[in-house]
Amino acid sequence: MTRIFDDPADFAEEALDGLVAANRGYIARVDGGVVRSTEVPAGQVAVVVGGGSGHYPAFAGVVGPGLAAGAVCGNIFTSPSAGQAYRVAKAADTGGGVLFSYGNYAGDVIHFGEAQQRLNAEGIETRTILVTDDIASAPLDEIGKRRGIAGDLVVFKIAGAAAEAGLDLDAVEELAIRANYRTRSLGVAFDGCTLPGAAEPLFHVPAGQMSLGLGIHGEPGISDHPLPTASELAQLLVSRLLADRPDGAGTRVVALLNGLGRVKYEELFLLFGKIEKLLTAAGLTIVEPECGELVTSLDMSGLSLTLLWLDEELESYWAAPADTPGFRKGSMAPRARRELAVPEDALAAEVEDTTAAATELGRLAAALLAQAQDVVVDNVEELGRLDAFAGDGDHGTGMRRGVEAATAAARNASAAGASVELVLTTAGQAWSERAGGTSGALWGSALVAAGRSLGTKDSYRGGDAAAVVTSFVDAITTLGKAVPGDKTMVDALLPFRDAFLAAFDGGAPVAGAVASGAAAAQAAADATASLRPLKGRARPLAEKSLGHPDPGAVSFALIAGRIAEYLDVGFPPADSRLAASAAGDGAHA
Ligand code: ADP
Ligand code: MG
């Protein structure tokens, strides 16, 4: 139960503000999360961690010398946006590049992935290490599908210590990969956690039972067991983890017993004592263990055991000092405070940089987004209904938040005279920022890619429209990695692209090609009803989705249809050069 808040919707944000107020010697607030408030040597690799909130001390509480350089903080149990990750990483970078590290969850992967692309495009070299320590979440031969739980802290610690030692990005990345591979965890829950504002926990574990392998957000466990004695619990955790030991494991391990929020320290210590005996009896040497709350799950009643199988190098980085609000080890000399640069208003700086043709096309882009907004708003409920069969029912509201933010951003940029490149990139950023969710990240990055593909040129031809369609589609398949048949928006997107290009290459004007694409997308979206979802949130409930079309495919087809209508009927050809080809200039450049 959470009692202390004014408005539960502001819980994560206000808790973060207070954490910073209580720890100004360590961390400073930036838009999207926190960074260190103390001096960082120029050129040091910035280990930037993050994820949803509700896991203190993860993630903002492990920012400081010897550990993370910044933390990206989403809402409770919700992935932060790409924009947040981008801004925190930018504020944390001191010229040595960025290593993103976070637990392996789809929303985080997409948003951080998008931020990584943006940072790399700007010349800030960025890599990613996903933490995959939870042995209950997938079998060993699918280790890449495992999710991250308390092993987060272990991987962050090794990477942070390596960065502190002055290693370069390649070396820090290599150590983080190795640490992740050699880190294995298993958790149990006795009862669920309650979101701020909710009266009931997200789930209950039946009285007298314990759920083995339950995720830190209430993802289902692998099996329920009668509540064991402490000795039996220690035996269960240790034996399962030893059975999953990595190749080349050795005999020296870090053991980390993590409380999830509502297990007393005395209970954790009692259990740790038994775990230590079992590990020792198995011939292992325990090195600098941890026992306490390190990655929590609000007030979840549960715990997890993590083993890091050391080698000499990992041991030296594990033992190195760290000094953060929520995790301290050894001792470190106090650091001077640093001045944080206030980010400039990028829009104002860039609006200058345009051409008449690019500004004109920017107006068209803003008008098309307004059309997309209209059709989404008209269909919010239907899209939500489709998403509720197997997903989480938020596709309508998510699309609406995204497209409204994108349209407003595009309208502002266009009114200020911005190029189509700037109109679409700011719109895409606004979409992904406001919408969150998988579809928000995908639409956002697709618009950014479309803007980049158009660039800021002296004139535009029909061929630019074909390039936009291709970049839009490529951005989504690159980021989401879905293939045809996975039952995602890609199942409507690829038919759109193919029909568009076929019509266009056959000499059709842009508007005609869009109409062909839209018709193909509509038919393909309808046809997704017979598929089972293989990607995204709907995957675990695949059967329930049979007979209903994919919400993301449907929303894409709706938008494509509306834009086709607009280009055909409502669009005055004199508005832009692209329009000239839309109106029948079949001679493509
Ligand atoms: P979330 O799944 O995060 O709640 P939404 O409900 O807004 O996000 O969007 C769900 C839609 O996202 C799905 O119907 C599907 O079309 C699309 N989607 C999910 N995963 C992927 C992916 N990997 N690639 C492309 N589209 C995807
Ligand atoms: Mg959804």
Q: How far is the CA of 474 from the centre of ligand 1 (A)?
A: 16
Q: Which of 379, 489, 493 to mutate to test the pocket of ligand 1 (most atoms within 8 A of CB)?
A: 489
Which ligand 1 atom is at minimum distance from the Cα of 440?
7
| Per-residue pLDDT of the chain in tens (589 residues, 90 and over written 9) | 899 999 988 899 999 999 999 999 999 999 999 999 999 999 999 999 999 999 999 999 999 999 999 999 998 888 899 889 999 999 999 999 999 999 999 889 999 998 999 999 999 999 999 999 999 999 999 999 999 999 999 999 999 999 999 999 999 999 999 999 999 999 999 999 998 988 888 888 999 999 999 888 877 788 899 999 999 999 999 999 999 999 999 999 999 999 999 999 999 999 999 999 999 999 999 999 999 999 999 999 999 999 999 999 999 999 999 999 999 999 999 899 988 765 554 555 567 789 999 999 999 999 999 999 999 999 999 999 998 887 777 899 889 989 999 999 999 999 999 999 999 999 998 998 887 678 998 999 999 999 999 999 999 998 999 999 999 999 999 989 999 999 999 999 999 999 999 999 999 999 999 999 999 999 999 999 999 888 766 666 677 788 999 999 999 999 999 999 999 875 544 444 444 444 444 334 3
Write out 411-440 in H/E/C secondary structure. HHHHHCCCCHHHHHHHHHHHHHHHHCHHHH
State the pairing for strand pair 252-259/209-212: unpaired
Q: Which ligand is nearest to the CA of 537?
A: 1
- Residue 325 DSSP one-character state: S
Q: How far is the CA of 516 from the centre of ligand 1 (A)?
A: 24
Q: How many other C-beta atoms can be found within 10 angstroms of the C-beta atom of residue 353?
A: 12
Which ligand 1 atom is at minimum distance from the Cα of 489?
16
- Same-domain pairing of 126 and 230: no
> How far is 78 from 54, CA to CA, in rounded Å?
9
**DSSP per-residue letters across 143-158:** GGGPPPSTHHHHHHHH
Does 348 map to a domain? no
CA torsion angle for 166, 171, 174, 180 (degrees, to 10)? 0
Q: How far is the CA of 392 from the centre of ligand 2 (A)?
A: 5
Does 546 map to a domain? yes
In the chain, the amino acid numbered 187 is G
Is-above-0.85 flag for pTM? no
Q: How far is the CA of 531 from the centre of ligand 2 (A)?
A: 17
Q: Which ligand is nearest to the CA of 435?
A: 1
Q: What angle do CA 474, 462, 364 make, to 5 degrees?
A: 80
> What confidence score (pLDDT) does residue 68 get?
98
Q: How far is CA 385 from CA 81, 200, 463, 522, in A?
A: 24, 24, 38, 18
> How far does Cα 488 stand from its chain's mean position?
18
> What confidence score (pLDDT) does residue 348 get?
56
Q: How far is the CA of 427 from the centre of ligand 1 (A)?
A: 19
Does 192 map to a domain? yes
> How far is 438 from 552, CA to CA, in rounded Å?
10
Does 454 map to a domain? yes
> What confidence score (pLDDT) does residue 218 get?
74
User: Whose CA is closest to 269, among 303, 299, 224?
Assistant: 303
> What CATH number has the domain bearing residue 28?
3.40.50.10440
Which ligand 1 atom is at minimum distance from the Cα of 491?
16
> How far does Cα 357 stand from its chain's mean position?
36
Residue whose Cα lies nearest atom 22 of ligand 1: it is 480
Question: What residues have CB less than 8 Å from 162, skipping those under 6 apart?
Answer: 45, 171, 172, 175, 176, 317
CA torsion angle for 298, 56, 30, 446 (degrees, to 10)? -60
> How far is 70 from 68, CA to CA, in rounded Å?
5
> What confidence score (pLDDT) does residue 537 get?
65
> What confidence score (pLDDT) does residue 587 get?
39
Residue whose Cα lies nearest atom 19 of ligand 1: it is 536
Domain tally for the chain?
3
Q: How many other C-beta atoms can be found within 10 angstroms of the C-beta atom of residue 209?
A: 15
What range defines the domain where residue 545 resides?
356-583
> What confidence score (pLDDT) does residue 575 get?
42
Pull the structure tokens for residue 194: 């309650």
293, 318, 343 - which closes a domain: 318
Token pair 């050699």: residue:
182
Residue whose Cα lies nearest atom 7 of ligand 1: it is 395
Does 529 map to a domain? yes
**DSSP per-residue letters across 51-65:** EEESSTTTTGGGBST
- Same-domain pairing of 439 and 394: yes
> How far is 116 from 5, CA to CA, in rounded Å?
34
Residue whose Cα lies nearest atom 15 of ligand 1: it is 488
- Same-domain pairing of 83 and 128: yes
Q: How far is the CA of 91 from the centre of ligand 1 (A)?
A: 30
Q: Which helix (H) or strand (E) holds 30?
A: strand 27-30
- Same-domain pairing of 192 and 57: no
- Same-domain pairing of 373 and 442: yes
> What CATH number has the domain bearing residue 519?
1.25.40.340
CA torsion angle for 442, 446, 447, 450 (degrees, to 10)? 180
Does 325 map to a domain? no
Q: How far is the CA of 439 from the centre of ligand 2 (A)?
A: 8
Q: Which helix (H) or strand (E) holds 291?
A: strand 290-292
User: Whose CA is closest to 187, among 129, 116, 263?
Assistant: 263
Residue whose Cα lies nearest atom 24 of ligand 1: it is 480
> What CATH number has the domain bearing residue 290?
3.30.1180.20
Q: Which ligand is nearest to the CA of 553?
A: 1
> What confidence score (pLDDT) does residue 584 get?
40
> How far is 164 from 66, CA to CA, in rounded Å?
5
- Same-domain pairing of 113 and 131: yes
Q: Are 430 and 369 in contact (CB under 8 A)?
A: no
> How far is 468 from 573, CA to CA, in rounded Å?
19
- Same-domain pairing of 299 and 211: yes
318, 342, 370 - which closes a domain: 318
Instruction: Kindly list the catalytic residues.
Output: 217
- Same-domain pairing of 225 and 125: no
Pull the structure tokens for residue 129: 């290490």
Q: Which ligand is nearest to the CA of 392?
A: 2
Residue whose Cα lies nearest atom 14 of ligand 1: it is 552
- Same-domain pairing of 314 and 406: no
266, 300, 318 - which closes a domain: 318
> What confidence score (pLDDT) does residue 492 get?
98
Token pair 């504002």: residue:
197
- Same-domain pairing of 501 and 527: yes
> How far is 141 from 307, CA to CA, in rounded Å?
19
Which ligand 1 atom is at minimum distance from the Cα of 552?
16
Q: Ligand 1 site: residues with CB under 6 angstroms?
A: 107, 387, 391-392, 394-395, 398, 437-439, 442, 476, 480-482, 488-490, 535-537, 550-553
- Same-domain pairing of 273 and 134: no
> What confidence score (pLDDT) does residue 540 get?
63
Does 119 map to a domain? yes
Which ligand 1 atom is at minimum distance from the Cα of 553?
16
Does 588 map to a domain? no
Q: Are 532 and 545 in contact (CB under 8 A)?
A: yes
- Residue 74 DSSP one-character state: E
- Same-domain pairing of 364 and 217: no
Residues having C-beta closer than 5 Å to ion ligand 2: 387, 391-392, 394-395
Pull the structure tokens for residue 498: 């193919």
